[in-house]
Amino acid sequence: MTFWTENNFEPKRAFRFKLNLAFASGQESIPYFYLKTATKPTFEVQTVQHKFGGREFNFPGSVKWNEVKMEFVDDVQNTVLSKLTNVISNAGYPDIISNADIGIKESGALKFLSKAKMASTLTTAGNAQAAANGSQLAFDIEQLNAEGLVIERWSIYNPIIIKLEQDTLDYSKEDLSVYSLTVKYDWASFDDTLS
């Protein structure tokens, strides 16, 4: 029987998704309706080649997880921009908005980036609590069904912000202003047993 004759068939829809994110700094997450796009995690398996007897043999090597990218629209109160720059600042980067002393804390001590700081800036609230017990830090990209229930979850572990981009201003366009966040991570896990 073909799928178009079955009334219980429902394909996944690209617009039904949300970002489950809570900033470890204690500030509110970016509201879900500001999120415009998000890429799901993808990976590549590196190969190792061995030549023998005039032939080439390939063996699986390490797994390389590719970056995820999220796009957000912003409002005139700079809700998204201020939250994203705060996340980057809390990770140990200099304050890029107010031009505070670069790399110096109030105590005069040097301020450096660390993987722990970077990973703790982007995480879900539940994972932030788990991290206090030694678990890995993660945030989630969730795909939803028509009832709004989570049917697919990708958890992104040990995320590190590597790029924050703003779109180009242009008098010939009436588009919304968009901010893009690119994140590297150590690995991701997939869960589709949620509905």
pLDDT of 160-181, one tens digit each?
A: 888 889 888 899 989 888 999 8
Residues in the chain: 195
- Average pLDDT for 1-23: 77
What are the start-end ranges of the H helices in the chain?
Answer: 79-90, 115-121, 125-132
pLDDT over 70 (residue 134):
no
- Average pLDDT for 176-193: 89
Residue 7 structure tokens:
């009334």
Dist. CA 123–CA 20, nearest whole Å: 8
CA of 91: how far to CAs of 24, 87, 95, 128, 142, in Å? 10, 6, 10, 15, 24
Q: Which candidate, 103, 82, 101, 68, places its Cα nearest to that of 185?
A: 68
- Average pLDDT for 6-24: 80
95-109: pLDDT as tens digits: 555 555 554 555 555
- Average pLDDT for 124-145: 64
The pLDDT of residue 133 is 44
pLDDT over 80 (residue 26):
no
What is the domain partition of the chain in residue ranges? 11-191
Q: Is residue 67 very low, low, confident or very high in pLDDT (cuts 50, 70, 90)?
A: very high
The pLDDT of residue 47 is 93
Dist. CA 193–CA 41, nearest whole Å: 18
CATH match for 11-191 among 3.90.1690, 3.20.20, 1.10.10, 2.30.110: 2.30.110
pTM of the model: 0.76
